[in-house]
Amino acid sequence: MDSCIFCKIANGEIPSNTIYEDDKFRVILDNGPATKGHALVIPKEHYANLFEMPQDLLADAAVVAKKVATNIKEKLSCDGLNLVQNNGETAGQTVMHFHLHIIPRYENDGQHILWNPTSPSAEELVEVKNTIVGA
């Protein structure tokens, strides 16, 4: 896609701090990192979001994320990490090209990737379940 910045980065048209690359993905350090080592797994082909990604490529993205996350954990000695993938503006997606965040976490890093738990009743949960599975 000619106007997509992540297409240009993934295909080497725009310089990046690449920490991994293969024929399907480029993994770069995020220019606005949440923490030291925050990286993005970006497919070289354009897919706007999770729903457009072919299932096999999505599986490949998970394999790449594990490989890179393992290396980050070993080299940067982080205490844990988050994998975050947003779909749509409401969910926090700012670049409409599928990407998977690998966010190393450090004790007292000040970051919060959390939500406020709600308290649905047992009946509400069953209703939602039935809506999803079609019961």
pLDDT at 112: 92
pLDDT at 93: 96
Q: pLDDT over 90 for what percent of the chain?
A: 94
- Pick the catalytic residue: 38, 46, 97, 99? 99
Mean pLDDT of 7-30: 97
Cα→Cα distances 94→5, 15, 46, 80, 89, Å? 11, 20, 15, 25, 6
Prediction pTM value? 0.93
Q: Cα angle vertex 32, ends 31, 38, to 5°?
A: 80
pLDDT at 2: 80
pLDDT at 135: 67
Cα→Cα distances 18→14, 27, 40, 63, 124, Å? 11, 6, 9, 17, 46
In this structure, which amino acid lies at residue 64? V
Cα→Cα distances 13→2, 10, 41, 44, 96, Å? 11, 8, 17, 11, 18
pLDDT at 33: 97
Tokens of 33: 């990192």
Q: Is 99 a catalytic residue?
A: yes
Mean pLDDT of 75-94: 97
Residue 94's contacts (CB-CB under 8 Å, 6 or more residues apart) are 86
